[in-house]
Amino acid sequence: MNRRQRLILAGRHLFAAKGYSAAGVREIAAEAGVSIGLIRTHFGSKAGLREEIDRQVIAQIEDLCSRASEHLGTEALDLLVEDAVEWVERERDALLYVRAALMEKTPGSQALLRQLLEIMRRFVALNRERGLLQDDVDEEWAATFLVIDFLGPAVLEPFSEEEFGMSMYHREMVKRRSAFMNRVVTQGFMKS
């Protein structure tokens, strides 16, 4: 892997772990195994590095989004969910970067959130078209709900080990959680 990409991955990791302000350029360069000057050479500045990271992460999510749109059959929904779960497992750093990026309002983080909303709006619309949506559902809030639900575990992840005894993305955790969420979206958990 070339040094430019090494810098991007190191930056993504450190921004995700400590936040943009707390992660220094020297630390990033050290983790990437290159010298500080390269950040300026390739990205102009620390902010430029963040913008490039934003671009790559947004591209990943866009990819996730467009792949689901390609399959316009009955299996589109399952594919979308499957893709998303697989992506979270494979690119945990990217997800944790999204978490960190949303902590401060930048053009990049706004775009990230918009992408997520777009995916979820599409998901809700697909469900409606397939007749899987209940009547009179506030679709905009349904999409927002799904975004919150997608980001929630990432937000809690750093505390998960101490609070629940395991990672939010541990297999058992994912299983319990998806069982609960399946129940919630189809029938809720409280009597009316």
10 Å CB burial of residue 128 (0-12, 13-18, 19+) is middle
Q: How many whole angstroms separate alpha carbon 114 and alpha carbon 16? A: 19
Per-residue 3-state assignment (H helix, E strand, C coil) for 160-177: HHHHHCCCCCCHHHHHHH
Q: Is 120 in the site for DNA (CB under 7 A)?
A: no
Which range binds its own copies by CB under 8 A, 6-14, 28-36, 79-87, 106-114? Answer: 106-114
* Tokens 């630390």 sit on residue: 27
- Among positions 138-167, residues that touch its own copies (CB under 8 A) are 138, 140-142, 144-145, 147-149, 151-153, 155-156, 158-159, 162-164
SS3 24: coil
Q: How many whole angstroms separate alpha carbon 70 and alpha carbon 85? A: 18
Q: Minimum Å distance from CB 16 to DNA?
A: 15
By C-beta, is 6 or 170 nearer to its own copies? Answer: 170
Binding interface with its own copies (CB under 8 A): 18-22, 99-100, 102-105, 109-110, 113-114, 117, 127, 131-134, 137-138, 140-142, 144-145, 147-149, 151-153, 155-156, 158-159, 162-164, 176-177, 179-181, 183-192
